[in-house]
């Protein structure tokens, strides 16, 4: 009797504590997943699923199997005696959640604008015509639009932007050299770097502005060119004062 009991205990110990081969199949949405890494985190044993998703690995009760595959969420299974004895073990993997790059909330096609302004305008015009084709029309009622006509609002904005650019360009061209130099160089530059006296600064800037080159320096809007021009004119200015 004792021998029988010991035999049963030994069989149970062998069944639950000794490693055995675990067979199963890995799927996702009822499709087999191949080349999945199956890792026994306790024994460090490693296996891979085949083209049909089937795998086999040595493990025992209480071992942890880890399933790793690209584009799928990592899955862990703690083995118990039911899983170990399951002849049709199915492991379901879930796809990783992917962020949507763009969400379109209407049926109107989205527009990707180019850095080419002419292409942008053409695309917007085309989009305007397509949109008007889908816009319901009420017979006998003026909707304030011209069918397949020009977009006067957009044209008005474009003309306005051209006038603004022209105005800015004009304002930039009429600035004189004296104001340009004062806006970019503080008083310390004239006193310390050019060694001018305080009462000489205004006279010196008038002297510089009298040179036709000052206009080109102003239009170039280059600080280094302006400082080089000031340095050269400072030498001439001091020589002229010395002669006097």
Average the pLDDT over 88-98 and give the result.
89
Tell me which range, 10-14, 131-135, 213-217, is most confidently predicted by mean pLDDT. Answer: 213-217
pLDDT of residue 158: 65
Cα angle, residue 179 at apex, residues 242 and 193 outer, rounded to 5°: 45
Tokens of 188: 């310390």
- The torsion angles phi and psi of 120, rounded to 5 degrees, stand at -60, -50
DSSP percent split of the chain into helix, strand, coil, nearest 5: 50, 15, 35
> Distance of alpha carbon 125 from its chain centroid, rounded?
28
List of residues 6+ apart from 104 with CB closer than 8 A: 110
Cα torsion 168, 173, 177, 183 to 10°: value is 10
Mean pLDDT over the full length of the chain: 76
Average the pLDDT over 157-165 and give the result.
64
pLDDT tops 50 at residue 117: yes
């Amino acid at each position: 009797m004792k021998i029988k009991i010991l035999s049963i205990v030994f069989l149970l110990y062998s069944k639950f504590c000794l490693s055995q081969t675990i067979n199963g199949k890995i799927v996702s949405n009822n499709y087999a997943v191949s080349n999945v890494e199956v890792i026994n985190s306790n024994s460090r044993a490693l296996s891979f699923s085949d083209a049909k998703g089937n795998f086999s690995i040595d493990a025992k009760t209480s071992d942890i199997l880890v399933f790793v595959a690209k584009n799928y969420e990592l899955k862990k299974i703690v083995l118990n005696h039911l899983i170990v004895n399951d002849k049709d073990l199915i492991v379901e993997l879930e796809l990783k959640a992917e962020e949507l790059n763009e969400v379109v909330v209407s049926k109107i096609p989205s527009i990707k604008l180019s850095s080419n302004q002419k292409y942008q305008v053409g695309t917007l015009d085309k989009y305007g015509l397509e949109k008007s084709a889908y816009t319901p029309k009420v017979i006998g009622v003026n909707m304030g639009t011209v069918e397949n006509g020009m977009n006067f609002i957009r044209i008005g904005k474009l003309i306005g932007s051209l006038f603004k650019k022209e105005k800015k360009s004009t304002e930039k061209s009429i600035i004189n050299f004296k104001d340009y130099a004062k806006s970019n160089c503080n008083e310390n530059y004239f006193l310390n770097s050019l060694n001018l006296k305080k009462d000489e600064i205004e006279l010196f800037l008038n002297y510089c502005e009298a040179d036709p080159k000052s206009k080109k320096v102003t239009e170039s809007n280059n600080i280094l060119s302006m400082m080089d021009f000031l340095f050269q004119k400072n030498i001439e200015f001091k020589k002229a004062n010395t002669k006097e």
